[in-house]
Chains A and B, each alone.
Chain A
């Protein structure tokens, strides 16, 4: 008997050591797992989606090690990951598979906005809850919002507002804007014009460029922007387009003596590839993983590094936050019925490594924020300086606007 006990203890100890065990006082989860279906573009958007999945896996491990879902009798949380094929057509089929074959309690995920919108409509039609984690489009919580859809990440408008709030005090009037030619780029530019226009008297846009996504002709674009002699530049390009744009702009001196405001550029996904050409002092939204030290954030960073041997990306922190929101939702709903889960999400506040996050009831948008600061190089490593965490609650759509948009 003692021998058996010993070996069992060893096994449990071993398990605890491999996971990130903080099981003080509680046992690990037991019973049939509660399934959540998660769809994402793991193949096409791997740079964002894979760190996101890593973050989720880490959080689920910790939740289950700490006793699972207390509201559902300590059952473990299980997330079933599926590729959404990066098109709405594939995504809706996969969602159907998750719901009917895997019997998931609800669906979550999506990176691309059109995929997110298609899933939201699917959820509305099939009366399934959908937790949109990553898509940025404002339509998801506004014009195309529906009672079954909740969104976690701060949307395009919120992130743009954070930047405008940070940059308006500079009083720059002549702006050039450059954005990828699709919904995200167009909405960001529209929000920027509206918000900056309201904040700075005499605001004008002297040049606009909308290169096709992934196919920016950097030389011609930089030339066209420089020609208009702006005092400020609002950039929405990201990924390979951004790197090409920055290199060309650096060589041609486009950014010299100009205020540059840039959406998402501080996210490690997009900032790290800039390498030693990272411009200094761009005002950006993003995430500096090494420097955030509030709400036990460094414990997360350490655990993530230990498990995946990589620094967390923005996707990772988002993926890490979501399962805790799900756990708290289940603890509140005490049921896997869709209506109970929907009620539970409304107004739910979760303590996360980014701070408290509340799911605002009126538009079902979470108050998860983002870090706003300036780009800089630390040695050879691109990162952010002078940053602060902006709570999403401060930059959300005014309630009257939400009511008008969601009335249909």
Chain B
């Protein structure tokens, strides 16, 4: 490797790192202050690029000067900043008091809406922006040509870093941001206007995302896939750097992009998995990221976000659930084949979602990567049936939960050592690594094409019989899992969730209990995955994708993580909404997004949580003490 190549490749890495940092810095600031995992950050980035390819060429009509180019870029970023404010005022402000996960759900709703709005306004074709005037050329460096614009980008990152540090240390706004990042409640207690602080933070965050997008237009065409292609990478940067730490994000972006610039020389396919590998390693070694600090609040007893008071079924509820189960079992007799198919899918997803809620609602272990265990189960079953073994379906359905449980045991060992958002991001990292393995191991897994021919044994080949196979396995698993909530094991998990320190002090082995829960949930998800693969006849990596994990989250949040049975209702509602809008319109994502946001606003405790609240009001004529005002308003 000669010197000039080394220098040029390093410069390429620096330019990309710089661009990535601008975007990630906004995400980390927003998270630090509001604790919201803002999925819509990628949408702001995309909007920044679309704004810029609209505004900048219009400005350049007047004069092709570099000044006007950058005026256009800043204007685009400002517009996006204002959109961030709108999102804060219209949506987020209403839901700061609901569980943090619901805010994530709401921002994901925004992602879906923005995707279709962008498609509607700018059309599906990529829009290539103008190059920056005066920076079209290449600069000769050690005999090699390097784009002038990228040289400029290299300086943008440090400049933004400097500006942010100045704001953080020299302005009142910045000091408040730092204070809120350290201890949000204390800032509130000291009488700071939190609404203004949050609005300002969202403006800054969205502005930075928009700036990042607008600065990309000389390099990348504005396209409808930009949001999702950047968001995971931006998350990884903030997590590796330490959530809320701007300098940390800078260092993380540098490490990632330099590793990538040189890594692709040795492993040309490394980009698929590199960032997640790095994140997993960093989190295992440094649980709070490179420059993050343990949260002040992490030792404090806080109101938990999960199942609070566990009640058995009342007589009426028992009747309702028995009737519902019977009605479900009648579907193959009364409904058409399609209803049977949808029924199978709902049962399968209900099992996966129910197992996820054992972790989230009951254990406080937020997993962003539950699809990993679902997918591992599906692949285990699918590969057994189609591979050299040609095993029967029965064996495959035994193997699926085993494989899911094994994967959960392996990953869970590391995962349960972490806390909060870092734990969630490590689950995501492991899920993405699993995804990459199945994606890349073409000889065995068929790569992204997957493997087809995963059909049930002959006796279960008809949809109706397979429906009952799924019904028996999924429903008994759900009943068994539900039983777990009520056992001492379930209580122990909730104790560990509510205060790990206190649970530890009374002699509970918190990590082992969490690990066991993780394994059980993984096995259940694995079974669900196995059942799903036989219902659709094939396996492929979309079953392990982030989108799948998010779908599971959506399901339990829709139903309500404070209730035991909520995930089941949530699955049915979520799947039905999707199934209802998909055939109707090309813009089904828009309606799905609107539905999600509506659910968050109207039922901040989920559908079942809202029903419970309603019943409590009817019974006691007073809202339950933990009911947020929004529920009271809606159910009044």
Which residues in A have some Cβ–Cβ distance to B below 8 Å? Answer: 42-43, 46-47, 50, 82-83, 85, 87-90, 92-94, 96-97, 100-101, 113-114, 117-118, 120-122, 125, 137, 139, 144, 181-183, 186, 208-212, 214-224, 226-227, 239-240, 243-244, 247-248, 251-253, 269, 272-275, 277
User: Which chain B positions have C-beta within 8 A of A92?
Assistant: 536-538
User: Which chain A positions have C-beta within 8 A of B455?
Assistant: 125
Are A114 and B450 in contact, with the CB atoms below 8 A? yes
Known contacts A121-B538, A183-B449, A239-B126; is-contact A252 B147 (Cβ 8 Å): yes
Other contacts beyond A42-B586, A217-B264, A273-B221: 18, CB < 8 A:
A43-B116, A46-B119, A93-B345, A94-B583, A100-B336, A118-B450, A137-B449, A139-B449, A181-B269, A182-B448, A211-B271, A219-B15, A220-B12, A221-B264, A240-B126, A240-B226, A247-B219, A269-B125
Interface size on B, residues (CB 8 A): 76
Pick from A46, A96, A114, A223: contact of B5, CB below 8 A.
A223
Q: How many angstroms from the CA of A159 to the CA of B336 in the assembled complex?
A: 42
Pick from A93, A100, A272: contact of B536, CB below 8 A.
A93
Are B536 and A117 in contact, with the CB atoms below 8 A? no
Known contacts A46-B586, A214-B225, A220-B261; is-contact A114 B126 (Cβ 8 Å): no
Q: Can you name the residue of chain A whose Cβ is closest to the Cβ of B219?
A: A244
Closest chain-B Cβ to A102's Cβ sits at a distance in Å of 9
Are A88 and B450 in contact, with the CB atoms below 8 A? yes
User: Which chain A positions have C-beta within 8 A of B532?
Assistant: 89
Q: How many angstroms from the CA of A288 to the CA of B197 in the assembled complex?
A: 55
User: Which chain A positions have C-beta within 8 A of B219?
Assistant: 218, 244, 247-248
* A interface SS class: helix
Q: How many angstroms from the CA of A217 to the CA of B271 in the assembled complex?
A: 9
Pick from A120, A216, A239, A269: contact of B452, CB below 8 A.
A120
User: Which chain B positions have C-beta within 8 A of A252?
Assistant: 138, 144-147
Are B537 and A122 in contact, with the CB atoms below 8 A? yes
Pick from B12, B447, B452: contact of A121, CB below 8 A.
B452
User: Which 8 residue pairs spanning A and B have beta carbons closest together?
Assistant: A46-B124, A219-B12, A121-B452, A47-B124, A273-B126, A220-B261, A240-B223, A251-B147
Are A94 and B450 in contact, with the CB atoms below 8 A? no
Which residues in B have some Cβ–Cβ distance to A below 8 Å? Answer: 1, 5, 8-9, 12-13, 15-16, 116, 119, 123-128, 131, 136-138, 144-147, 149-150, 218-221, 223-226, 229, 233, 257, 260-261, 264-265, 268-269, 271-272, 336-338, 341-342, 345, 439-440, 442, 447-450, 452-453, 455, 532, 536-538, 540, 542-543, 547, 579, 582-583, 586-589
Are B588 and A97 in contact, with the CB atoms below 8 A? no
User: Which chain A positions have C-beta within 8 A of B542?
Assistant: 87-89, 114
User: Which chain B positions have C-beta within 8 A of A101?
Assistant: 336, 338
User: Which chain A positions have C-beta within 8 A of B543?
Assistant: 89
User: Which chain B positions have C-beta within 8 A of A186?
Assistant: 442, 447
A-B contact pairs, 6 of them (CB 8 A): A83-B582, A88-B538, A117-B452, A181-B440, A183-B442, A240-B226
Known contacts A240-B225, A244-B221; is-contact A210 B269 (Cβ 8 Å): yes
User: Which chain B positions have C-beta within 8 A of A251?
Assistant: 136-138, 145, 147, 149
Are B128 and A121 in contact, with the CB atoms below 8 A? no
User: Which chain A positions have C-beta within 8 A of B128?
Assistant: 243, 273-275, 277
Pick from B149, B264, B536: contact of A211, CB below 8 A.
B264
Are B342 and A93 in contact, with the CB atoms below 8 A? yes
Q: How many angstroms from the CA of A247 to the CA of B221 in the assembled complex?
A: 10
Q: Can you name the residue of chain A whose Cβ is closest to the Cβ of B463?
A: A96
Known contacts A118-B450, A223-B9, A240-B220; is-contact A83 B126 (Cβ 8 Å): no
